[in-house]
Amino acid sequence: MATRSISFSTGEFYHIYNRGTDRRIIFTDTADYKRFIDLLYLCNSSVSVNYRNISRSGKNIFEFNRKEQLVSIGAYCLMPNHFHIIATPHTDDGLGIFMNKLCTSYSMYFNKRNERTGTLFQGNYKAKHAGEDEYLKYLYSYIHLNPVKLYQSDWVERGIKNLETAYKFVSTYQYSSLPDHLGLNRPEKAVLDSSPFPDYFSSHIDMKKELFEWLAYNTDILKGHQS
């Protein structure tokens, strides 16, 4: 069960993250990624939800009426052995309830599917208060650029070899919210509710520019160290 002693406050923003125990893979294939994203939507509800009944109904998961939501999710990214979420609670206990439902539901699914028992995640999920405006804006780039490691594992140490190709990779990475922020019309966009968050990027072009600047910045810094 994913619980922790940190106190959350309504209207504040938080970076939530966790990885697999012993750094193990927690998303083994498309079905795993899809289930977690489905749960990001379904667990964000004040009512109890039966995933099996909803999926068997043949209806679109992301059209299910969740009644009152527990949190607003601004961004997320799933990597093979960890995940990141930016969220703000609607009530002081909303984020804790949401994360408990999410991690417990996914762990039960994963263990049953893989015929395993025991803990899936590395202890309690981690939470960091994004109280500073500059830090919250940075998180959008940091989280959405995580998949660059799958394109070029040594990019932090050596810099990006091809900025255009790296950007194309992350912008089409389907297990993060970046495609939604860039205007792609897909059902998963229903996971997000950006209304409580600051409007850092007035257009898709602004978001793209920000990501390019971070990719180029890290690369230029590394080149400077090597010269």
Q: Could you state, in order of their start, the residue ranges of all structural domains in the chain? A: 14-226
| Integer Cα distance of 184 and 177 in angstroms | 10
Which of the two residues, 82 and 50, has the higher pLDDT score?
A: 82
Cβ count near 67 (within 10 Å):
9
pTM for this predicted structure:
0.91
Q: Which of 31, 23, 122, 136 is nearest to 75 (CA)?
A: 136
Under the banding of pLDDT at 50, 70 and 90, the label for residue 59 is confident
Residue 7: its pLDDT value, please? 85
CB 108 within 8 A of CB 27: no
Is residue 5 very low, low, confident or very high in pLDDT (cuts 50, 70, 90)?
low
pLDDT digits (tens, 9 = 90+) for 201-221: 878 888 888 998 888 876 554
What backbone torsions phi and psi does residue 55 show, to the nearest 5 degrees?
-65, -35
pLDDT in tens, 107-150: 999 999 999 999 999 999 999 999 888 999 999 999 999 999 99
- Residue 171 DSSP SS3: helix
Residue-level pLDDT at 219: 54
pLDDT value, residue 92: 93
Instruction: Please answer whether residues 170 and 178 qualify as being in contact, where contact means their C-beta atoms are separated by less than 8 angstroms.
Output: yes
**In the predicted model, is pLDDT for residue 200 greater than 80?**
yes
Closest to 78 measured CA to CA, from 169, 15, 146: 146
Question: How high is the pLDDT of residue 178?
Answer: 97
Report whether CATH 3.30.465.10 matches the domain 14-226.
Answer: no
Identify the residue with better confidence: 225 or 163.
163
